[in-house]
Every structure is written in C-alpha cells, then in structure tokens.
Amino acid sequence: MWQKEVFPFIDSQCQTPGIPITTLSASLGAFHAANTLFKHPDRLKRCYALSGVYEMRDSMDGMYDDNFYFNNPVDYMATRMIPGFSISTAVATSG
C-alpha cells in the first residue's frame, strides 16, 4: 500500500518526487508511525512516536506467526541493520 498509494500521493501533492517524509503520532498511532519508518527507511527520514507500545505480544493472546513477526518491531528490528539508521529516545518524568 505505501509503495503504490501513499508515497506517490505525497510526491504528487508536494510536487517533489522522493521528498523526505516524517511520521508523527501517539499511542497506537505511534506504533504505526514507527513501524512504517522501520519498514521504509528509504523514504521516511524521521519519526516522532509518542507514548507508543512497540512490543505487541501481550495483546495477541499467544498467537504468533510470520505476519505478527514482521509487524512487531521488537522482533524484526533486532536482526536488522540499516546503514545510517539510528534510534533516539527521550524519557520525561514529572515529580
């Protein structure tokens, strides 16, 4: 979907083919924003994923297959090396 629909739409709307894309979201949307970045590092350059959960096993009632593996960043990113790719985290607390 991203390669055939979303990226061409963004390119046409911005009138800049290959424009760097940033995703931003919170909660469950943060999971999707980050997962999209991890799967398409050639097109997405930044991601602001706020208060997301990136380990989904607790939500799956023991179900685990290839589809789950390739959509659970904790699993598939553990063995993936992407040149020039880094993850930065920030934790804020109040007290």
Q: Which residue has the higher pLDDT, 32 or 54?
A: 32
Which residues have a Cβ under 8 Å from the Cβ of 85 and sit 6 or more positions away?
41
Mean pLDDT of 58-64: 86
What's the confidence (pLDDT) of residue 89? 59
DSSP type of residue 79: G
Q: Which of 71, 76, 31 is nearest to 50 (CA)?
A: 31
Residue positions counted in the chain: 95
What's the confidence (pLDDT) of residue 94? 46
Mean pLDDT of 56-83: 83
What are the residue boundaries of the structural domains of the chain, listed by start? 21-95
With a cut of 60, say whether residue 79 has pLDDT above it. yes
What's the confidence (pLDDT) of residue 21? 93
